[in-house]
């Protein structure tokens, strides 16, 4: 799933993860997002672009403002994938535990 690859790659950067965390509290402009980081608006704009291309955020126009909004549906897709992987590994580990404890043959 290339869209998952892009989203996980975008979240590989600590600044972008912090931006996602900030946007989880509500919409914000690039200037508002840049404020706590001590980064230039140009640097924040770069990170915003990566997050936008990955589908994790969207920007809209409100007059002269361009607030960013987190795409919760996209985060939910990532969470679902993680949950599926966790369940698969839990199932494998349960099977191994039964095999080691009871001598049951793994499937």
- Tens of pLDDT, residues 41-96: 889 999 999 999 999 999 998 888 889 999 999 988 888 888 888 888 877 887 88
**Assigned domain for 107 exists:** no
Number of structural domains (the chain) is: 1
Report the Cα–Cα distance between both ends of the chain, in Å, rounded. Answer: 27
What are 78's two structure tokens?
């990532």
Domain extent at residue 20: 2-102
**Assigned domain for 55 exists:** yes
What is residue 90's predicted lDDT score, i.e. its pLDDT?
77
Q: ∠ CA(54), CA(59), CA(61), 5° rounding?
A: 160
**Assigned domain for 61 exists:** yes
Q: Is the pLDDT of residue 25 over 90?
A: yes
Model confidence band, residue 13 (pLDDT cutoffs 50, 70, 90): very high
* 3-class SS of residue 53: helix
**Assigned domain for 50 exists:** yes
Element (H, E) at 52: helix 41-53
Q: Are 6 and 21 in contact (CB under 8 A)?
A: no
């Amino acid at each position: 799933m290339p869209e998952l690859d892009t989203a996980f790659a975008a979240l590989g950067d600590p600044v972008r993860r912090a931006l996602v965390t900030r946007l989880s509290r509500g919409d914000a402009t690039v200037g508002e997002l840049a404020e706590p980081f001590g980064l230039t608006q140009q640097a924040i704009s770069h990170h915003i672009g990566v997050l936008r291309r990955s589908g994790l955020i969207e920007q809209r126009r409100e007059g002269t403002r361009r607030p960013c909004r987190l795409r919760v549906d996209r985060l939910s897709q990532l969470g679902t994938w993680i949950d599926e992987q966790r369940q698969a590994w839990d199932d494998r580990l349960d099977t191994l535990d039964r095999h080691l404890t009871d001598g049951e043959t793994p499937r």
